[in-house]
Amino acid sequence: MSIDLKNLNKQDPLKRMVERQNKTEEFSPMDPPDAFKPPALDDVKYEDMHPLIQSLMDEHKNCNKVINTFENTLNLLHTSGFSKNTLEEINDFFSFFDDIIIEHNRKEDSTIFADLNIILHQKEEFSTGTKKTVVDLMEDDHIKMLQLAAISFNLFGLVTRIPDQNSGMVILDLAIEQSKALIEMLKLHIFREDHVVFPMANNYLSKEVLDAMKV
């Protein structure tokens, strides 16, 4: 099925969503104005990071490129339509998520996160008002990412199987909305790991401990 988004009327739910997102005074609850302004920390330059952490940061750069491409695909949907090529681009992103992002998260969980979290709990360095460390929050994100990705992917799959165009548009609206939430979570998650978690790991974990970690 190919949905012609260019000829939909003003009641198109996707168009309304895009218009809402273009209002600069509105912010997503997942991406508040200060989300990318973490508290002042002892900054560690990339070249001063342990090679293991550098490798994870390098993977983040690759992830961000794919995430940005997927975001561009979503932004073009209301002008170019939901076609076979668009579907392939969407499938490419979710294949990347399954093959690369999930494996990347596993590496983090099984290496620096495991050891760093023990230290943070011992030091009682918890997020304000909680008994969770920043590592606990990142691990929670890993689970939420899986949930959002599964919902988004299945919604896009439904669009191609719904014969009624109006119903298909409603589902497409939901698919894009959930995908945008996933993109916001991924970007903020990566930022916080690069600027908060990884510097902490580099400072708190000894070179010997980091050297011994296998990914």
**Is residue 213 predicted with pLDDT exceeding 50?**
yes
pLDDT at position 201 is: 96
Q: Write the CATH number for 202.
A: 1.20.120.520
142 within domain boundaries: yes
83 within domain boundaries: yes
21 within domain boundaries: no
154 within domain boundaries: yes
Work out how many domains the chain is built from and give that number. Answer: 1
pLDDT at position 37 is: 56
24 within domain boundaries: no
Report residue 165's pLDDT band, with 50, 70 and 90 as the boundaries. Answer: confident
**In the chain, % of residues over pLDDT 90:** 65
Helix (H) or strand (E) holding 60: helix 51-80
Report residue 41's pLDDT band, with 50, 70 and 90 as the boundaries. Answer: low
Q: Cβ contacts of residue 199 below 8 Å, gap of 6+?
A: 41, 42, 43, 44
20 within domain boundaries: no
30 within domain boundaries: no
pLDDT at position 8 is: 35
Give 58-89 pLDDT, tens digit per residue: 999 999 999 999 999 999 887 777 777 888 99
pTM of the entire predicted model: 0.80
Long-range (24+ apart) CB contacts under 8 A made by 62-69 are 62/100, 63/100, 63/101, 63/104, 63/186, 63/190, 64/187, 64/190, 66/93, 66/96, 66/100, 67/93, 67/183, 67/186, 67/187, 69/93
Give 99-155 pLDDT, tens digit per residue: 999 999 999 999 999 999 999 999 999 988 889 999 999 999 999 999 999 999 999
41 within domain boundaries: no
pLDDT at position 141 is: 96
pLDDT at position 15 is: 41
**pLDDT mean over 179-197:** 96
Lowest-pLDDT choice from 146-150, 160-164, 177-181: 160-164
Helix (H) or strand (E) holding 176: helix 165-192
Domain assignment of residue 158, given as a range = 56-123+130-212
